[in-house]
Structure 1
Amino acid sequence: MSDSFVLDVTRIREEAQRKMEAGPVTGSYGLDEERVIAILNDVIATEVVCWLRYTRHAISAIGIDRAQVSAEFTEHAAAEMQHAIRAAERVSQLGGDPDFDPATLVQRAHTDYTTPASDDLKAMLENNLLAERIVISTYQEIIRWLGDHDPTTRRLMESILEEEEEHADDIIDLLGT
């Protein structure tokens, strides 16, 4: 059984020339780029909401372990904003408009912008751990859906997922559980 790989470079060159305006989206893309853009815009909303929550918690945290927890929240907030920017750059590459509209962020986000009734560190940690767990699950589903159809977006999401898992692990360490 011989499965020979044959690459039709002439056909690929001709198609690339005909569809120059499509940028990185080629005929072999495999997904509806509008759907991918919509999903990535929801990822942007999720990451911005997480950035906002972590930033608020870093500023308002009080208690004996405030310095350590606040530093961790600040670090996580910076990572969340970078995730949003990376997703926005991919939206732009796919020909879409990154959606940072403050009026719709909360509705599009996978997590809530919830904060504990008090500035209790444990409650903040638990709130952020819950958000990380939601993000981990939703991003895993997105990655499975992307499969081999869009390896660039899949790798982006896998990279973000890896950092989200690290955030959850950091929070577990801080909770001492």
Structure 2
Amino acid sequence: MAELDKEAVIGVLNKILESELAGVVRYTHYSLLIYGYNRIPIVSWLRGQADESLLHAQRAGELVTHLGGHPSLAIGPLLETHKHNIGDILHESLEHERNALAEYKHLLELTKDRSVMLEEYARELISLEELHAGDVDKMLRKPGDIAVFSTP
């Protein structure tokens, strides 16, 4: 196996940690702004996403310390458009999922054939983020549409 660039990997893991912490704040914020007949299931879904983002952040932080690094205390970018209808929230969520997916793919590039543990971690999270992006994409479709809403 090729040698792992620990500093680069720690840097990406810290970006993931920051992004996932931003997801906790973002999804919690969104859950507070849902109104209307479909409020309860949408709030439940958003809060589930916040909970999952926290678990992802904790996992990334644990890997940072596993590699001898220091976990970032920063939080990733938080977008506040002041557009609070469900469609806008879902568009912003899709953008957030795509950004997270890009970081996990970057981690995979750095760890492939260098660390089985980190490579498997990156693959697992890529799979989860792709599923999340797919769920949001489906929610953005009009009822009856089967074509993908947006291109990945």
Q: TM-score, normalised by structure 1?
A: 0.73
2:5 to 32, 36, 39: 32
CA distance in 1, matches of 2:50, 2:110: 27
1:1-177 to 2 correspondence within 5 Å? Answer: 30-99=3-72, 101=73, 104-106=74-76, 112-176=77-141, 177=149
Identity %: 25
CA distance in 1, matches of 2:138, 2:80: 20
Task: Return the offset for 1:38.
Answer: 1.8
Does the 8 Å contact 2:10/2:69 carry over to 1? yes
Task: Return the offset for 1:105.
Answer: 2.2
Does the 8 Å contact 2:28/2:50 carry over to 1? yes
CA distance in 2, matches of 1:38, 1:159: 19
Task: Return the offset for 1:32.
Answer: 2.4
Does the 8 Å contact 1:66/1:121 carry over to 2? no
Unmatched 5+ residue regions in structure 2? 142-148
Unmatched 5+ residue regions in structure 1? 1-27, 107-111
Q: What is the number of equivalent residue pairs in this alignment?
A: 142
Q: Which aligned runs of 4 or more in structure 1 are off by greater than 3 angstroms?
A: none
Does the 8 Å contact 2:108/2:122 carry over to 1? yes
Task: Return the offset for 1:79.
Answer: 0.9
- Aligned-CA RMSD value: 1.8
* Residue 146 (structure 2) aligns with: none
* Residue 16 (structure 1) aligns with: none
1:105 counterpart SS class = coil
Of structures 1 and 2, the one scoring higher in RCO (CA 8 A, sep 6+) is 2
Q: TM-score, normalised by structure 2?
A: 0.84
CA distance in 1, matches of 2:75, 2:139: 29
* Residue 12 (structure 1) aligns with: none
CA distance in 1, matches of 2:126, 2:24: 15
